[in-house]
Structure 1
Amino acid sequence: MFTPRDQNPALAALLTLCAAAFAAGTTLLAKALGTGALGPEMHALQISNGRFLFAFLAIGAVTAVMRPRFARPDLKLHAARSALGWGGVTLMFAAAAFIPLSDATAISFLNPVFAMMLAIPLLGETVGRVRWSAAAIAILGGIILTRPGGGVVELGAMLALCAAVLMGSEMILIKRLSGREGPFQILLVNNAIGLLISACAAVFVWQWPEPRQWAALAAIGVLMAAAQACFVNAMARADASFVAPFFYAALVFAAIYDALVFGVIPDVVSLIGATIILCGAGLLAWREARLKKSPPPVRPSQPG
């Protein structure tokens, strides 16, 4: 039986900031591999396979040492979640080769918006005017970042948008898993299934990596495992509406990494688009928090 963790908002915030820094680091390394900075250009399918391989090895090693108690997993739910996560990660890695990391990261913040939209038909949730307004604001920022008519930049933004849709869908399934299974079990099963899916896809584009590329792939896997562990544990210690805004720091980390390594400085369009997305996503997170704190409506008593 899985026992929920004690609530600790301060620790949850710190863990989420660490997850943001680690996640931005994986995108930076994926960009280096996809653009040929570390050797021959590597396909996004192979990069995502390396991400799942080394993340699984890292999580498996920690699991073997800590020996957490496992419950019976919902394999169908895990498989669907892992497939969506693999697709989202692969498209994000592909997008990073075309557009600045800050743009790709900002567009990825649309995934809560898509999750909200998908929750209507899939979870039967009701969405009010404030949340629809927040979604419209965030999507406007995403449209700005696509830079219509921008050639390859537009392609990269569209890849990131598709990644956000898949990751938003994944969030719906994560909601169903949270509270049912422990963090280690969720991470281990997710990465095991993701490894299987990504390996089948990578067969068609496989090329033997150079030593530097192996090191980068290993770093992507370890950083992603660390990011997942931090985020899952943060979600276990505070409400999602509290945790989510702290992950927006990934945008800052991505911009810093891109500037230091590739010399890419966000332009005016990037700043405007990212700001609008953050405003919309922030409004959505605030509204979610308010809805959770609101007491349920009092129903009139039924006649006896």
Structure 2
Amino acid sequence: MSPHSQARPANSGWAIFIMVGAAALVAVTSLIAKALGVGGGASGLHPLQVSMGRFWFALAALGLFVALRPSLRPAFDVSRWRLHLARSICGWIGVTAMFAAVAQMPMAEATAISFLNPVVTVVLAALMLSERLGVRKLAAMGLALAGAALILRPGSAAFQIAGVYALIAALILGLETIFIKRLTNAEPPLRILLFNNAIGAVLSGVAAFFVWTAPTAEQWLLLICLGGVMICAQGLFLQAMKRGEASYVIPAFYSVLVFAALYDWGLYGVIPDAFAFAGSALIMTGVILLSRVKA
């Protein structure tokens, strides 16, 4: 047995399996958001309404879970409310930008661009948490950024403004990760989820008021599904992180790109072009290397 295999927890295989499940569900949330937003105008919901559904019904699902399992209910503590608020604002903006992106461009391409958030996290960690930023990390970041350039192709006729939304999602979600790191060092996961979805529900509800159009019965059903699936995805992600080392299980999360491409192809007949394939490969390579190197 190799030293590497000895270092891995005995249940790492299950952790990867659970993480792949989380990735599949995250891709489902993008698929639902695409279905809700496709068409625009009267036939599609505004991204602010879609993100409202994500937070409202995720909070409802989480509240039901806590009601059924009172022994797991965390103590109410607002001592770190500034961190919870900052994390939730970033999460709301990032999710809304991502939902806007998938409604207007292929899911696989939007997902690949959003994977740049680890690059943002590394840069911010160097600036805010004094973490070391070495040559190998810079090289991995360069690969990922080159991949994003291939997909976005700024200055060409193939440039998509929706790609900018995905890029904004990556930037903001990268910042959110910094706040999550600070919270997870001192807060139980369930309390983090409750605060995040409660604050997100308030923010998204206020924002959606200004663009509100009455959803159809089918759209209400999809909004409910969006919130429920998101909570399940978050739960699986946390369980995977609990059962395996982060550096070992996080790369499995990037299988969300595969699921996004499969869902988009199966339901919308979208096949990524050569630039999208190449760009996605570079981004995947860059972020996986970034998760492996220490400096």
Q: TM-score, normalised by structure 2?
A: 0.92
Contact 1:183–1:233 (8 Å) recurs in 2: no
> 1:240 Cα shift?
2.2
Q: Which letter maps to 1:148?
A: P
Match of 1:265 in 2: 271
Q: Deviations over 1:149-170 (max 9, x none)?
A: 4568521111101100000001
The partner residue of 1:50 within 47, 53, 69 is 53
Cα offset for 1:181?
2.1
Find the aligned partners of 1:151 and 1:244 in 2 and give their Cα distance.
35
Within the alignment, does 1:111 sit opposite 2:117 as a pair?
yes
Q: Does residue 216 of structure 2 align to residue 210 of structure 1?
A: yes
Seq. identity, %: 45
Tell me, in whole angstroms, the C-alpha distance in 2 between the residues paired with 1:40 and 1:178. Answer: 40
Query: Structure 1 CA distance, aligned partners of 2:84 and 2:16?
Result: 26
* Residues 1:247 and 2:259 aligned together: no
Distance 2:288 2:146 in 1: 14
Q: Do the aligned partners of 1:187 and 1:229 also contact (CA within 8 Å) in 2?
A: no
For residues 88 and 151 of structure 1, the distance between their equivalents in structure 2, rounded to whole angstroms, comes to: 26
Q: How has the CA–CA distance of structure 1 residues 101 and 127 changed in structure 2, closer, same or farther, with 3 Å as cutoff?
A: same
| 2:108 aligned with 1:102 | yes
Deviation, structure 1 residue 229:
1.0
Q: Does residue 64 of the first structure (1) align with residue 52 of the second (2)?
A: no
Does 2:18 align with 1:15? Answer: yes
Segments of structure 1 that go 5 or more residues without pairing to the other structure are 1-5, 292-304
Task: Check whether the contact 1:98–1:153 (CA below 8 A) recurs between aligned residues.
Answer: no
CA–CA separation in structure 1 for the residues paired with 2:260 and 2:134: 33
Amino acid at match of 2:74: F
Pair 1:222-2:228 in alignment: yes
Rounded Cα–Cα distance in structure 2 between residues aligned with 1:151 and 1:46:
31
Equivalences for residues 40-189 of structure 1 within 5 A: 40-67=43-70, 68-71=72-75, 72-73=77-78, 74-149=80-155, 153-189=159-195
Give the AA of the match of 1:191.
Answer: N
Amino acid at match of 2:69: M
Relative to structure 1, the CA distance from residue 207 to residue 35 in structure 2 (aligned partners, 3 Å threshold; closer, same or farther) is same
- Separation (CA, whole Å) in 1 of partners of 2:178 and 2:53: 26
Structure 2 residue identity aligned to 1:284:
L
Cα deviation, 1:258-296, whole Å, max 9, x if unaligned, reads 0011110111111000000011011111114xx7xxxxx
1 CA distance for matches of 2:73 and 2:201?
Answer: 22
Aligned-residue offset at 1:236: 2.4
Q: Quick one: distance in 2 between partners of 1:279 and 1:124?
A: 25
Structure 1 residues 7 and 189: alpha-carbon distance in aligned structure 2, compared to 1, 3 A threshold:
farther
Corresponding residue number in structure 1 for 2:39: 36
Distance, in Å, in 2 between the alignment partners of 1:194 and 1:151 is 37
Q: Which runs of 4+ in 1 moved over 3 A?
A: 149-153
**For residue 286 of structure 1, what is the amino acid of its counterpart?**
R
SS of equivalent residue, structure 1 residue 276? helix
Q: Give me the whole-angstrom Cα distance separating, in 1, the residues matched to 2:212 and 2:266.
A: 30
Deviations 1:81-101 (A, max 9, x none): 010000000000000122100
Query: How far off is 1:201 after superposition?
Result: 0.6
Post-superposition Cα deviations, 1:45-75, rounded to whole Å, max 9, x if no partner, equal: 0000000011000111011111214142421
Q: Unaligned regions of 5+ residues in structure 2, if any?
A: 1-8
Residue 201 of structure 2 is aligned to residue 195 of structure 1: yes
Aligned partners of 2:148 and 2:269: how far apart in 1? 23
